[in-house]
Amino acid sequence: MTNNIKSSLAALTLVTVTSVYASDTGTQPVRPVEFTVGTEFYNENYREYSSDDNSFRGLSNGERLMQQKSNLWSLTGGVKYHFNNRHSAKFEGRYSRGKSDYTGRLMDPTTGTIGSFGEYKFTNSPRRVYDLRASYEYTHPINERLSITAGAGLGHRVLRDLNTRASEATEGHRDRKQQTTYAQISTGMNIALPAQFEITPRISYNHMLRGRQYSYPSGQSVEMKQSGGQGIEIEVPVSKKLANRSKVSVTPFYRGWRVKRSDDAIHYSSIYNAYLASYEPKNYTHEAGMKLQYSF
């Protein structure tokens, strides 16, 4: 009988340890790999402002230099691997294309004086964007209907203005490319609703690790270095779980960036027959839209 008692106690101890471990790490989910495909539409508003370094004659700090308003369509996709019910890793990608309308100022080539905002406009310029990111996410359950998430990762974003392809393009127009590598931290909630619906609000902070602006005047490639950019993303997906354990999501979202003035880049200008110092002014980006996704 003593041996039976010892065996029972050993079995109970093993069950207890296993239960504690499982509650801490989570159990393997039914579907460890989850794929997502979708599309989105958004409006982008990009603005540049003067600084307090007297780079633009006649302008004070904070005056608007230019703005671009764009409407873009995107294809989105991603894959998420669940190590268990709490730990996961995911890779996401987005490719966007559309056209932008430019409003800005003109500069007197002899005096360098800047004109008034709105006196120059350039429309229907092709724009392309892609954004790739990889991240880790931890999920902590609060109860059966509520859990909170926290994540961290890295992303890389490239934006291209193809001004030379626009119907209004002239010899003076130039293409532009912007590259941003950034770190991201995020937090959110998973809220289960009746009838297999759920809502998963999420907010993320992005911090620029490396920024580059490329301009191509007169066949040259001018590189301007940027740092100190910060961004924020807010999204509120509303999802419906389907019978095959897939789900459809509709998501309103906002994305924004604030980036400081770039370093000066010295290059030769054939137009002015002189060496010039070019830079990218401080700028703000606002994007707001909706996306539709299917996860399976």
- What are the DSSP calls for 193-214, one per residue? -GGGEEE--EEEEEEEEEEEEE
Domain around 119 = 30-295
Residue 9 located in a structural domain? no
| pLDDT level of residue 57 (50, 70, 90 thresholds) | low
* Residue 17, CA distances (Å) to 43, 81, 143, 238 in order: 53, 26, 22, 38
% of the chain exceeding 70 in pLDDT: 83
Average pLDDT over residues 139-146: 96
Q: Return the pLDDT at 8.
A: 47
Spatial contact of 240 and 227, defined as CB atoms under 8 Å apart: no
% of the chain exceeding 90 in pLDDT: 61
Residue 1 located in a structural domain? no
Count of the separate structural domains present in the chain: 1
Average pLDDT over residues 40-67: 84
Residue 179 located in a structural domain? yes
| Residue carrying structure tokens 């897939």 | 246
Read off the pLDDT of residues 100-115 as tens digits, 9 standing for 90 and up: 999 998 877 667 678 8
Spatial contact of 114 and 59, defined as CB atoms under 8 Å apart: yes
How many Cβ atoms are within 10 Å of 43's Cβ, its own excluded?
A: 13
Spatial contact of 253 and 288, defined as CB atoms under 8 Å apart: yes
Residue 93 located in a structural domain? yes
Residue 50 located in a structural domain? yes
Q: Which residue has the higher pLDDT, 14 or 285?
A: 285
| pLDDT level of residue 295 (50, 70, 90 thresholds) | very high
Q: Return the pLDDT at 255.
A: 98
Read off the pLDDT of residues 206-241 as tens digits, 9 standing for 90 and up: 999 999 999 887 667 888 998 889 999 999 999 999
Q: Return the pLDDT at 171.
A: 60
Residue 261 located in a structural domain? yes
Residue 134 located in a structural domain? yes
Least confident of 250-254, 256-260, 271-275: 271-275
| pLDDT level of residue 28 (50, 70, 90 thresholds) | low
- The CATH number that applies at residue 134 is 2.40.128.100
Mean of pLDDT over the chain: 86
* Burial bucket for residue 44 (CB in 10 Å: 0-12, 13-18, 19+): buried
Asked whether the predicted pLDDT for residue 18 surpasses 70, the reply is no
Read off the pLDDT of residues 66-98 as tens digits, 9 standing for 90 and up: 999 999 999 999 999 999 999 999 999 999 999
